[in-house]
Amino acid sequence: MTEDAGELLFTYGTLQFAEVQLDTFGRVVAGESDSLPGFTIDYVEIEDQRVADLSGLSVHPMLRSTGNAVDRVVGKVLHITADELDAADEYEVALYRRIAVTLASDRTAWVYVG
């Protein structure tokens, strides 16, 4: 992914919320529906009070790899800049890490996993 073309970020949780996007990116980002095969969702308690207050949730979804193509997580793909991707890294708490994945649409995107 080159910075010229922007970055693709697959979101399945609070980064889809307008208020979280406004705080994180300074704008609301229109997303396209897509899905991620080979993963399911678990839930984790968020101890970072700022993130919990912003999202309105103290429990957030977290991807877990199953390796089973039947498993699938539905979400949105956001087209963001490299700076916005850095901002998303700041938003996500230490429980998450960012990896590159191949979506059902065959596009490569970043996603946050546990």
pLDDT above 70: percentage of residues in the chain: 95
67: how many CB neighbours lie within 10 A of its CB?
A: 8
Higher pLDDT, 25 or 13: 25
Q: What is the pLDDT of residue 70?
A: 94
- Tokens 């980002």 identify what position? 29
Mean model confidence pLDDT for the chain? 89
Q: Report d(CA 73, CA 90) in Å as an integer.
A: 23
Instruction: Kindly state whether residue 19 falls inside one of the protein's structural domains.
Output: yes
Confidence of residue 65 (pLDDT cuts 50, 70, 90): very high
Contact 2, 109 (CB under 8 A): no
Q: Is the pLDDT of residue 50 over 70?
A: yes
pTM: 0.84
Asked whether residue 1 is assigned to any structural domain, the reply reads no
pLDDT at 13: 87
CATH number for the domain harbouring residue 107:
3.10.490.10
Burial of 76 by CB count in 10 Å (0-12 exposed, 13-18 middle, 19+ buried)? middle
* Domain interval for residue 107: 7-113
